[in-house]
Amino acid sequence: MQSYIDEAEKVLLHTYNRYQVVFDKGEGVYLYDMDGKKYLDFVSGIAVFALGYHNEAYNEALKSQIDKIIHTSNYYYNAPAIEAAKKIKEISGMDRVFFTNSGAEAIEGAIKTARKYAYLKDGSTDHEIIAMNHSFHGRTMGALSVTGNPHYREPFEPMIGNIRFADLNDFDSVMAQVTDKTCAILFETVQGEGGIYPAAEEFMRRVRTLCDERDILMMLDEIQCGMGRTGSMYAWQRYGVKPDVMATAKALGCGVPVGAFLMTEKVGAASLAAGDHGTTYGGNPLACAAVCKVIDLFEKQDVLANVNRVGAYLEKRLDEIAEEFSCVLERRGVGLLQGLQFDRSVGGLIKRAMEKGLVLINAGSDILRFVPPLIIEEKHVDDMIEILRKCIAEIEGERQ
């Protein structure tokens, strides 16, 4: 395994500080490295592998599509894309779908949608988008421009212009940024990288009312918190506050790179038209076959019921950890998107957990993020808590 790591450092661009492991295969909620060591996975490819590893029905659907056709381009129709669009409409309640290759590309499309929608109203090109501080929407230039963390943006400035930032769950801060040029308000329904902060229902309803009154587009990033992770197919459905535009990805394909941005019929009829947007690979038959099977399996396996049951249990066990250890300041999250905030960096804690066979990641320097496969059971939560408790106790002991 070390020889692979050494070779990677010679050939790959060093844009990731990777953990010193090479994963070789997965089974259910477990990963195995090249030396055969078993790991309990509470990362799931950063909220991607919702159905766990080696799901036979999922694998067979992809194999079957590979034997038919993988790619044709968007000059032509393909059946899996049409079926996938129908299914994602059903689970989201949205009306029009554009398939992308990633979440960042979905955000790019949402930004273009908002600006074209506003342009068609008045012919101006100086419209503004309000995004949130501490948000994360992706690494491409457009997505980075609406990411509310200067650390990510500064080396690559100038960004795209006319972006203003407000604070999630502070409606007054949003109002302070609204002008007659505002065309969209964008935020994550649950902030992920920014620290696992759910949007409050009152905040969402007030933003929705503002957008309705002024014909501003409400745009939600459901890339990480969507596809069942909070106990609803999309997190906004918990409150019934429907967006005008929505971005989705990650668990949408459960490992196959695919995302989408969706919109209402009203927006679809008055924004992007032929020639305004495109992608070579987006919506290809292989990716959309994955989407179709994922959505089918979510229903067949009653994934949402499992998230609500096990998510409540995870919250309870994490609350116990927060109560037991003074270094844990707070638990936040919804369903199987949870975070523990510590009074210190969690890098060492993640490394210890890895050594003990538990895969965790952070969300900011001081927050442990828990985004396991959505098929986990209570026994897996118990196993995770046992390892986590040992790791925290060791670190606490070393401080004394």
| Beta strands at 197-198 and 259-263: parallel, antiparallel or unpaired | unpaired
Whether residues 73 and 192 fall in one domain: yes
Contact 199, 187 (CB under 8 A): yes
Tell me how far apart the alpha carbons of residues 165 and 173 are, in angstroms, rounded to a whole number. 9
Q: Residues 369-393: what's their mean pLDDT?
A: 98
Q: Categorize the per-residue pLDDT at 400 as very low, low, confident or very high, splitting at 50, 70 and 90.
A: low
Tell me how far apart the alpha carbons of residues 143 and 122 are, in angstroms, rounded to a whole number. 25
pLDDT tens figures, 168-187? 999 999 999 999 999 999 99
Q: What's the number of domains the chain is made of? A: 2
Tell me how far apart the alpha carbons of residues 207 and 76 are, in angstroms, rounded to a whole number. 39
Residue 60 within a domain: no
- The whole-number pLDDT of residue 269 equals 98
Residue 212 within a domain: yes
Whether residues 104 and 15 fall in one domain: no
SS3 63: helix
Q: Could you say which of 247, 269, 300 is where a domain stops? A: 300
Contact 140, 279 (CB under 8 A): no
Share of the chain above pLDDT 70, in %: 100
DSSP state, residue 250: G
Average pLDDT, the chain: 97
pLDDT at 75 over 60: yes
Q: Which stretches does DSSP call E strand in 267-398?
A: 328-334, 337-342, 358-359, 361-362, 367-370
Contact 177, 210 (CB under 8 A): no
392 burial via Cβ count (<10 Å: 0-12, 13-18, 19+): buried
- The whole-number pLDDT of residue 397 equals 77
pLDDT at 333 over 70: yes
Helices 56-68 & 285-300 angle (0-180, nearest 10): 150
- Residue 24 sits in which domain range? 2-54+302-399
Instruction: Tell me the two tokens of residue 341.
Output: 């905030």
Whether residues 250 and 147 fall in one domain: yes
DSSP state, residue 368: E
Whether residues 173 and 245 fall in one domain: yes
Whether residues 128 and 254 fall in one domain: yes
Contact 41, 249 (CB under 8 A): no
Residue 64 within a domain: no
- Asked whether the whole model's pTM tops 0.75, one would answer yes
pLDDT tens figures, 281-332? 999 999 999 999 999 999 999 999 999 999 999 999 999 999 999 999 999 9
Whether residues 174 and 198 fall in one domain: yes
Contact 261, 49 (CB under 8 A): no
pLDDT at 30 over 80: yes
Pick from 213, 219, 153, 227: nearest CA to 187: 219
- The whole-number pLDDT of residue 398 equals 72
Q: How far is CA 258 from CA 111, 146, 212, 242, in A?
A: 18, 21, 31, 22
Pick from 77, 151, 137, 152: nearest CA to 105: 137
